[in-house]
Amino acid sequence: MNVIATADLAVETFRLAGDGRFPNSDLPVLVYRRVVPSDPDAIEALLLRNRWVPAWRAPIGFYPFEHFHSNAHELVAIVAGEAKGRLGGSGGASVTLHAGDAVLIPAGVCHFGEYSSPDILAIGAYPLGAPVPDMRRGEPMEYAEAKGNAARTPLPPADPILGIKGPLADHWTSRPEASR
């Protein structure tokens, strides 16, 4: 399967406000449908071309516990199978991803897996130059620090799937002054 680069690709967006435990983000989560190839090597090559570094391949869609990265944005691409995850914490949005789908999760956004099919294979990636992602679990005493870290996390250099002119450029143009 070839990835078709189009400026008018529709993506689903989720805006998730902080709740005192998870900072979440002023930047929306972006869900891409049927955009990644079924070959993991091809996905990783695509990500590298767009300045995203593949960091893991795993038989899991999302870790099955609430967590977030306060210092890095994360892309999860589904190579095979199906994964259902929750974004923003237990009261947040539910999203089901199928083979060919991907989700771009801004720094600070809580995510966890609710279900993965037995044939699941996912690839995770982070923007080129991003630090090693921290693993935060939503401890209230860390909220202010984590929120500040997430707000200072630089915007990625390009959309992980479609490059410079992809949906990221439309949806993540800048951060509101209040979150800096």
pLDDT of residue 174: 65
* pLDDT, tens digit (0-9, with 9 covering 90-100), for 31-77: 999 999 999 999 999 999 999 999 999 999 999 999 999 999 999 99
- End-to-end Cα spacing for the chain: 40
Reduced to 3 states (helix: H, G, I; strand: E, B; else coil), residue 50 is: coil
pLDDT of residue 173: 79
Q: Which CATH class is domain 12-169?
A: mainly beta
180 residues of the chain, pLDDT tens digit each = 233 345 557 799 999 999 999 999 999 999 999 999 999 999 999 999 999 999 999 999 999 999 999 999 999 999 999 999 999 999 999 999 999 999 999 999 999 999 999 999 999 999 999 999 999 999 999 999 999 999 999 999 999 999 998 899 889 976 654 443
Q: What are the residue ranges spanned by the domains of the chain? A: 12-169
Q: Among residues 93, 61, 59, which one has the least CA distance to residue 76?
A: 61
DSSP one-letter string for 68-98: B-SS--EEEEEEESEEEEEESSTTSEEEEEE
- 124, β-bridge pairs: 56, 76
Reduced to 3 states (helix: H, G, I; strand: E, B; else coil), residue 157 is: coil
